Structures are given as C-alpha cells and as structure tokens.
Structure 1
C-alpha cells in the first residue's frame, strides 16, 4: 500500500563522506565493464544487476557485507508509524548518510514475507527462471547469498511486471533475539513501526529466449538502512510495517519516465504474474 510519495529532492553528502555508495568497478584488462556494486564504508556489500539490462535482475550479498546502518538517535521516532515521509526530519537524518544525488521519498505499508533462496517463494528460482532460464554456464538459478523479504508485485503492462524486494544488510540470523521479540510484542498491541531503506529500480529484459515467459522485470529493491529487527518481527508475526524508501534516481537501470511511473504502480492492487499474459 502506498501511503504517500513526496517530490524528488536532493539529499546526501560528497562520496567521500557517504556510508553506502553506488559504484562500478573499473574495466578489466580485456575491456569488460566491472561489477555494479553497493558499497558500505568503502567495502563491497552487494553486487547489483549488470549495466547491460539484459542480464537477470540481481542483488547478491558479498563476504564484506558485515554491518547495518541503523542510527540509535532516531530509534524512538521510528518505533511508531510515520504519517508523512518527512516526519521528524527522518529523511534529512538518513539523507546525511547517502551519496549526494536526487532521491524520491516514498512511504509504504508492507507485509514482509521472509524468503530463503532455493525455497518456496524464491524469485530467483521461480519467476526469474521462467523468463531467463537457468544460468547457461552453471545450469543453476542466480543465487543472492542472503535471505530477503518479498513484499509486493503488480502488473506494469502485458509484457512487464513489477517485483518488490526488501534486502537486509545482514542476515536475520544476526539479529538480536530480544529486540525481535520486543517488536513482535509491540506489533501484537497494534503498533506499526517504521523501517528505512535506500532503494533502486532496475528494469531488465532478456535479449535471448531461454525461458518460457519472456517479459520485462521491474525490480524495486529496498536495501535496509534501519529496521532489521522490525522486519523480522513483522514477517514472523504476520504484521505490517511502514517502510520509508529513498529511491536513488539515476542509480538504477531505469529511465526517469520509469521512475516517475513508480508511485502509481505501487498504488495498484497486488497482482501475481501470469506467464505469457
């Protein structure tokens, strides 16, 4: 459910002072483009979808992804629901962590469902294989090296579908059990807390026909800045949370027109992809 979308705004600090950054590795000796990355404090944290836009959608956790970006100073403000994206100055507080750029603040209500790669509900071994088939070298689906949350999907048009993911910086098994239980108890009393993420929109479409359902995948991926314990508690208890997404415009594989469509798409009813529709 879309709660509210603000106008795009400029946030962030120069790259040298930003904690998470979007980077591309240099070309190798054969002229091949390096990996597209989300780094944290200078260390590669996630490998992202390749710039070509014809490779499968990807967020792959790397070995150096070892820390979260929660800010204790705003913990109390986020224990309950934000009514507006800019409430309590939260956008500015988290914006000060980010690399300088244009961001679209979107406030959502989500009901997270925890997915383990290779198990029921996994996008990478399900919908992605339907479109791209198995990796032609390994003969296996893409593997993200992390559990993640699925929260929403909807139709874009007859040949395109939006898939939404919430990706923790560290696995839920690293969460403190007492804090997860604390949030679960609050949610049981009707409290709807707020998580915060920096997000990208990647639009990917296969160049060849390896799968049975050739379609365009719009991947809205939220990388969690604050709210790891809340999200696990919500997924365990079947409760909603609010998610303040700061969509990094220009950092994903999507045009300005695609990003402008996102609020309306996110306000549509949930709808699963019907292969070949």
Structure 2
C-alpha cells in the first residue's frame, strides 16, 4: 500500500489533511476512533464498505463516507483502488448532527480533493479548495425521490441508492416508475452519465462491491450480498469481468464476525 500525505493550514480550524491511499491489494483502515479530527472517505474509482454500529454501508463514487470525530468506525476498499481520507476540524454545514453515514459529494468537490492531493500546491489555494469541498457535501439523500433539478440527475439518484445496496433487485422499469419518468428517459440518463446502460452499470457495481467483501467472506455469501441468485452466476460474471475466479480473492479470516453480522 502506498500512502501520500498532504496537509494545509493544520494549525487552524480551516486546515485540511488529505491522505491518498493506493494499493494492489485490499485496503482496510481497521476499527478506529479519531478523537480530534472528523473523517471523510471517498473513492473515485470503486466502492467502499463502511461499518458503524453493526451496520454495513456501501458507498459509490458519487458519495463519500462521513464520520464525526470520536465515532468508532471501520472502512474497507477493494484491490487496485484509490481512496482519499480527508481530515477536518470543522463539520461541513450540511452534515451537522450526523455521526456517520454516506453523503453526496458533487463533482467539483471531488476534483478539488484530487487537485490538492499533490505536491507543490500553495496553502492559500488548498485552504480555498477546502471551503468549496465543505459546501460540496450534502445531507444524506432520500433515495425515494428524484433530483431537485427535474430532468437531470435521475441516473445519479438511482446510482447512489444502488451503491448502498448492490443487491437491490429493482429493474430499470421499477426505478422509472418510482421516479415518475419514462424508462427511455432513465436509460438515456444512464448512458449520458455513465456511458453505459443501466444493466451494465449495475453489474459492474455488484462486481466492484464483491471485491471489497471477498477477503473476509466466502464466495457464496458475497454472491448473495451483492445480488446474485446463485454462486455459479456470480463466479461466471466475475470471471468474465476480471479474468480470474473470485476464489482467488476470497480468504475468510477469523475474528471478523461484526462484518458478517452487520
């Protein structure tokens, strides 16, 4: 695992510390309690699994996982994945009162996180970026409603909900009915947002989520958790996507019952 650390204005409330992790294997931040700093985890290229109070949340690239200081939590990522861990002294305005949970992050905030996680960035520029990152975080989204800007963002709304529960069985028609739009409109929005139709996007999400879980769960359990009807269907899809069977990644370890019980 490689970790790069970038800190700006750390002596004041408006400071920000960004830790950038990249690894060829699974990332496991372990159980931690940060008494001094709030934590924000975000991965632009994969799925995170986060544990808090015996509940497991999956978080896709359109969301980040927020943890208030002094809150015990655990976060895991899959192999060949980049994760940013942002440490703050202040609570973003939209997240007041939230102890831990998935929160929307807009595209501009994500780009700024990547920009300041680099060498040679001026402190003034990074502190200004921090202010924009703070406002780019929204309160936990209500998955039962469409986007505020009618006519756009429907695919992102569905993506956020599915990222939390990849096993959600709802079809494209089910989502369109829930959002009060046509199936064609939702399908077009998926192609516009993600460059692929709904079925392909959901399949990739499920497989990415499976890679987060395989190190600590058996293949059959992972297949069920990410929405496959049978282990054989999961193995076939995984092998087609990655060129190897999921058994290569699955190494169940003792003493991790809280993940299995979550």
Taking structure 1 as the reference length, what is the TM-score of the superposition? 0.23
For CA contacts below 8 A with separation 6 or more, give which structure has more relative contact order.
1
Taking structure 2 as the reference length, what is the TM-score of the superposition? 0.24
Give the number of the structure whose residues are more often strand, by fraction.
Answer: 1
